[in-house]
Structure 1
Amino acid sequence: MSTSRRTPFLAAAGLVLVLAACGDGAVQVPVTQPDAATRRLCEGLRLPEKLHGQQRRDTSPSSPLTAAWGSPPIALRCGVPRPATLHPTSQLVTINRIDWFGQPVDRPVTFTAVARQAYVEVTVPPKYNPAGDVLIELGPLIEATIPQKPEGQI
């Protein structure tokens, strides 16, 4: 990936993860249906009990491919499809060796870790700005579990 595509801000609009819970109950996070190899990678992702100082919450439906923390919830989905608006010239943000594609440019922002053998999507409500702090915490976990794609593939 060329450095010119990695910028601090986001350029594309797209799908926003719908989060239906703001209280202490289970957070509604749609479950993905990845292929078996992607599912195995995602199931190996060891996520923390606390993220950005927020306690982990149950998700509904319950799945090893989803997680949520705090209220309003920060939500994670592993094994999502490649974002439809992601192109070779898309603006990416690189944080600690993980390339992130952010969409939409308004709030909440959904970031997808790209150039990995499984896409990991993280939706960060405005309460947790700067959202990059959340991505900094998740980056080492993704890097340790989900291998990179061959050079130049996003």
Structure 2
Amino acid sequence: MTPSTRRLSGPRLARLPAVLLLAVTGGCFSPDASPAVPVPGPPAEEAALCRALDKELPTTVAGHDRSDPEPGSALTAGWGDAAIVLRCGVPRPERMSDPQADAVDVDGVNWLVEERDSGPRFTTTYREAYVEVTLDERFRHDIGPLADFAAPVADTVPPSL
């Protein structure tokens, strides 16, 4: 939308259709718009692993169809209405240095577990690129979606030495 210097008031404002008035006062929103997700900036070697992972990711995870976030990138992927978001090539989480940190192994892929108000975040450990998966609150006590990522991660992101 472009800014306008024209002001609407009085009878002119009353003639605007309710939908247009709602869009003007509530901001513009498109139900088809993908959520914005920061794209990681890994070194070239990690980015290459992430591009390979992107090609192997499933089209459906936990009953949600793939719907990638904006801006489009081979380093990010999403399913559902941002219920599940994957970012590849993220920095090593600080929490990974904590010996008390929780982790879970899902089909041979180890994940650091971080609880957040918006839902859990999981980051692969012992891999040449860090893969992060965030789940919204619907998955607060459900690691099931990680099973859909285990084979693609294991096949494309080698263990670190």
Q: TM-score range by the shorter chain?
A: 0.7 to 0.9
Partner of 1:37 in structure 2? 45
Tell whether the 8 Å contact from 1:27 to 1:57 is kept in structure 2 after alignment.
no
- What SS class does the counterpart of residue 112 from structure 1 fall into? strand
Runs of 4+ in 1 over 6 A off after TM superposition: none
Gap change, CA 1:42 and 1:72, over 3 Å in 2: closer
Unaligned runs of 5+ in 2: 1-28
Aligned 8 A contact 1:25 1:58 in 2:
no
Matches within 5 A, 1:1-154: 23-45=31-53, 46-87=56-97, 89=99, 90-104=101-115, 106-150=117-161
Answer whether contact 1:124 1:131 (CA < 8 A) is retained. Answer: no
Residue 129 of structure 1: CA displacement? 5.0
Asked whether the 8 Å contact 1:27–1:73 carries over to 2, the reply is no
Kindly, what percent of the aligned residue pairs are identical? 35
How big is the shift at 1:104?
A: 2.4
Q: C-alpha distance in 2, partners of 1:81/1:51? A: 24
Give the Å deviation of 1:85. 1.6
Kindly indicate whether structure 1 or structure 2 has the higher relative contact order, using CA contacts under 8 Å at least 6 residues apart: 1
SS at match of 2:81: coil
**TM, length-normalised to structure 1:** 0.77
CA RMSD, Structure 1 to Structure 2 (Å): 2.0
The number of aligned residues is 130
Which structure carries more helix by proportion?
2
Conserved 8 A contact 2:39-2:75: yes
